Amino acid sequence: MALAGRRSIGLVVGAAATLGVGLGPSAGEAVAAELVMFGERGCSWCARFEAEIGAIYPKTEEGRRAPLRRVDLDRGMPSEFAHLRPVTFTPTFVLLEAGREVGRIQGYPGEMHFWGLLGMLLERLPEPPAIPLTGG
């Protein structure tokens, strides 16, 4: 079941990182980030993302900072994402921080552009807590 008006795109021109606005977390508050990929059956650009990045993403610094969660829109929009702006293109990647949208990438612009756009979104997240080094 396809949503009216949604279409697959993958052109660099059609890919956009839309940066969200909002207040950051209060001091000392732990924040969990995740990257949600909204896709659908037959989305060739979703398949291209999976072929080029899907397997390596969890092994990257970006993947550790914002683990990837895949949502199949053919099954409908999960209620936990009802507060997000509508997804009109697939794939759409939405960076969430504590459940709140930080920004999104609409479409898959290819491997090199994806990493650059994702990097811009990740810069909006608070710095991860420093891990103390122990000497020995």
pTM > 0.85: no
- Who wins on pLDDT, 112 or 129? 112
Instruction: Look up the CATH number of the domain holding residue 42.
Output: 3.40.30.10
Is residue 121 within 8 A of residue 20, CB to CB? The reply is no
Peptide bond into 91 cis (omega under 30): yes
Is residue 69 within 8 A of residue 35, CB to CB? The reply is yes
The count of structural domains within the chain is 1
Q: pLDDT tens across 69-95, in order?
A: 999 999 999 999 999 999 999 999 999
Q: Which domain holds residue 104?
A: 7-20+31-122
Give the N- to C-terminal CA distance of the chain in Å, as an integer.
59
Q: pLDDT tens across 37-71, in order?
A: 999 999 999 999 999 999 999 999 999 999 999 99
pLDDT score at 10:
38
From the list 130, 121, 127, the residue with the least C-alpha distance to 25 is: 127
